[in-house]
Amino acid sequence: MNSPSDFLTMWQHNRVFPDPKDGLQGDRGFLEIQAKELNKIFISDATEGYGFLNHTKELMKDINPKKLYPISDGFLYKDKSLWAPIPEENIYCDPRINIWWVWNRIWSLNQGSKAITTGEDQLHHGNVKYLIRNYTTEREYKFISLNNNWKSGREILVEQSSDKFIKDNWISGYFSDRPGLRNFDKDDIDDMAPPAVFYSILFEQHCNKGYIQPFYESPAQNDSVTDYMLMITEKTCIPFLLGTIAIPMNMFYVSEYEKLGFKFVKEINGIKINRTIEWDVTEDSRDDKNPNSPHNWSRRQVHKLDKINEQNSLEDIKKVFLENQDIILHNQKLIMEYMTTDKYMKKLRDWMLS
């Protein structure tokens, strides 16, 4: 790259490169590489969608867009003109890549035994089925919802749910001081603990906590209309692996998961949930005066969760859970397949080499 860019700063490449032979002092502001012709420049590690799109646009100022090949491992908005003038055929998107990444990198034995142990017990012994070894249809609570760091959507659930909902269920929220939240004991996990410690505790001690799991992915609640790209991470794997009735709490996720083959319970004793809403963005999509803005949609979702909890006993929810075992076990099998097959990584490799 021959000029500064926010993209390089993000990757910590915008550093000091003093060169004694030409007398330069301090930060030269760019990373210099030997001049040669580059026909393909692949851009990966999407992180938050807005940053990925906008940092890519910064690269277009210095690089021929026809040579840029963005790779998205999340959901990408259908309107590819947002990436113009990068040709549409240059854009690769497959969220199954990140599902594979969760198993083979985040939870992998290859990352070292200390990274995936609680004491001397390994998290999964290299077998994905080990994560679901304690699967049972007997659960302690109607709902389980895991909320670690602050996000606007998670705050809506944790702060705006009724007191009864918080009291009746296993709801965590480490960013909140609300009484009744069931955060892991600080003796078991602290802010400096590696993520795998959290997962070990989750799969070993809390795998059968609840029948229904509302969950948030990593983006903030409004990223579906501001970033045009949505992440998919281990937070997606957990509710499917645990065999819960999954309720994605980010807008448009249900329709995107369904395109990957996942199925959803659409009604719980008369209360409709998990609607298939096609991902569409309009001028007023992010305006909270719009009743269908992501924040307002999330508030209605939380109201539905409250209503389900209020109108159903634990036995009522267990009955719904048992009636939908075909959906639950289908999703469990599918997520394990995506986590362990390298088919989609090979497809990516073939595309890069084509």
pLDDT in tens, 88-130: 999 999 999 989 988 887 787 655 444 444 444 567 778 899 8
Q: What is the pLDDT of residues 19-54, one digit of tens each?
A: 444 444 444 444 555 667 778 888 876 556 667 888
**CA neighbor of 228 nearest in space, from 216, 219, 237:** 219
Check residue 189 and give its pLDDT.
53
Which is more confident, 265 or 127? 265
Nearby residues of 21 by Cβ (< 8 Å), 6 or more positions away: none
What pLDDT score was predicted for residue 219? 75
One DSSP character per residue, 241-285 reads HTT-EEEE-STTHHHHHHHTT-----EETTEE-S--------TTT
- For strand 245-248 and strand 210-215, is the pairing parallel, antiparallel, or unpaired? parallel
DSSP state of 151: -
CA dihedral 325, 329, 330, 333 (to 10 degrees): 180
Does a cis peptide bond (omega within 30 degrees of 0) precede residue 248?
no
pLDDT of 193 over the 70 cut: no
Write out pLDDT tens, residues 294-333. Answer: 889 999 999 999 999 999 999 999 999 999 999 999 999 9
User: How far apart, in whole angstroms, are the C-alpha atoms of residue 110 and residue 106?
Assistant: 9
Q: Report DSSP state, residue 78.
A: S
Under the phi-then-psi rule, with left for phi > 0, alpha for psi from -120 to 50, and beta for the rest, what region is 340? alpha
Look up the pTM and report it: 0.85
